[in-house]
Structure 1
Amino acid sequence: MSYVKNAENASVVLEIIQAIHVNARYLSEIDGATGDGDHGINMNKGFMLAKERIETGMSLAEAFKILGRTLAMDIGGSMGPIYGTLFSEFSRAMQKEEKITMQILLAALENAVEKLMNLAGAKLGDKTLIDAIYPGKEAYKKVADNNGSFNEALRALAEGAEAGKENTKNLTAKIGRAARLGERSRGFLDAGAASCCIILKTMADAMQKRMIDD
């Protein structure tokens, strides 16, 4: 069985935080095409604040909990509660587990997608972060359902999220500030999908590097 240890693996979350930090300007540039241009600034502020509160010896679940709580309470705007929910769901699915297996992460992804869709009132095709996480989750689930390996499932998660993010160029925004542009929002990436893709790809890579095979 392949798994990632829960204990002392907060470094997975710290890699996610670093990825958002490095891509902050890129995310704001994407947001500037159809929104206020502050997505990367706000994300970076919340993620870096969480970094100060996370210790390397913490468990993966505890680090996700701190990140989620920080974003929900301190980042503000619409993305704080949304990403706070995402990471809180990851933490909740993992908190009682010693070994994070393919099925445990699948449950975390499925729960997170359901909660995010309810919270944001968004569905697939609305040009939001759902358009990155949903296809990523579905690609991951397909590998899991067909008895693929954990590593294969994580690769599929990253590839599905990337494809979904890129497809937001073809969509018309239905939710958020970009929705006011109507058809003029076509041709541009969605900033939320872009940040979600960065998060999922970084998590997948970080977990692959820490994979243990019994």
Structure 2
Amino acid sequence: MRDADFFRRWMEAVAAAVEREADRLTELDSAIGDADHGSNLLRGFRAVRAALAAEVPAAPGDVLRLAGRTLISTVGGASGPLYGTLLRHAGKELGAGAEVGDTELAEALRAGVDAVARLGGAAPGDKTMLDALVPGVAALGTSYRAAADAAEEGALATVPLRARKGRASYLGERSIGHQDPGAASSALLLGALADVADGAL
């Protein structure tokens, strides 16, 4: 069973990964977006860290809802609402229980991913964060590490795709050959979850 501390450590691990990879995310975004994905997520997850330090949520769902609200209020562009929606809906799905099982977490993340798809009007293959999130969350039934690996593979598989949603879609054929930055950061999210679940962090 996973308690609120597990989820807090997950958010801390995501923040650390974003700190480490912010320049790479911005570089990816400079090719097909606004060149601000890394800096936006950096600001957002620094704010998440501060929020979790100031308030100690008692339940896993509370941790995710607080993180989601914080991202929506601090991150500009599309990434704040999308990541905020993912975490808020997952947190809502978990409810108020003090501990949740791995199956419950997988179901909650599926609900969060579905909410992201509705918000963005996107589907796998559109060269968005869903190309990492959908296979990653689907693999949670196997293991957390399998989910991280599937998300990373999904992110890499966006390189040959033509973007059909978001700012990158305006580039048409020129979006081909570049990795989607949202898929790359989504792989970081699930990679951090695997690291915490494995006891590496």
TM over 0.5, yes or no?
yes
The one of 2, 5, 13 aligned to 1:4: 2
Q: Which moved more, 1:119-128 or 1:34-43?
A: 34-43
Give the aligned length.
Answer: 198
Look up the SS of the partner of 2:178 in the other structure.
coil
The one of 156, 162, 166 aligned to 1:166: 156
TM-superposed CA distance for 1:194, in Å, is: 0.5
The one of 191, 194, 198 aligned to 2:181: 191
The one of 21, 45, 48 aligned to 2:46: 48
Question: Which amino acid is 2:27 matched to?
Answer: E
CA distance 1:175–1:96, shift in 2 (3 Å): same
**Structure 1 length as normaliser, TM-score?**
0.86
TM-superposed CA distance for 1:7, in Å, is: 5.1
5+ residue gaps, structure 1: 144-152
Q: Which moved more, 1:51-60 or 1:78-87?
A: 51-60
Corresponding residue number in structure 1 for 2:191? 201
C-alpha deviations, 1:148-168, integer Å up to 9, x for none?
xxxxx2111111101100100
Look up the SS of the partner of 1:175 in the other structure.
coil
Q: Which protein is bigger by CA-based radius of gyration?
A: 1
**Structure 2 length as normaliser, TM-score?**
0.91
Question: Which amino acid is 2:72 matched to?
Answer: A
Look up the SS of the partner of 2:198 in the other structure.
helix
- For the 8 Å contact 1:128–1:190, the answer to whether it is kept is yes
- For the 8 Å contact 2:7–2:64, the answer to whether it is kept is no
C-alpha deviations, 1:29-56, integer Å up to 9, x for none?
1101111111101111111112111128
CA distance 1:7–1:195, shift in 2 (3 Å): closer
C-alpha deviations, 1:143-197, integer Å up to 9, x for none?
3xxxxxxxxx211111110110010002100011111111221111000000111
Distance 2:182 2:98 in 1: 31
- For the 8 Å contact 2:144–2:194, the answer to whether it is kept is yes
Q: Work out the percentage of aligned pairs sharing the same amino acid.
A: 34
Query: Over aligned residue pairs, what C-alpha RMSD do you find?
Result: 1.8
Ranked by relative contact order (alpha carbons within 8 Å, sequence separation 6 or more), the top structure is 1
CA distance 1:95–1:18, shift in 2 (3 Å): farther
1:17 and 2:15 aligned: yes
Question: Which amino acid is 2:165 matched to?
Answer: I
Distance 2:102 2:48 in 1: 26
1:34 and 2:26 aligned: no
5+ residue gaps, structure 2: none
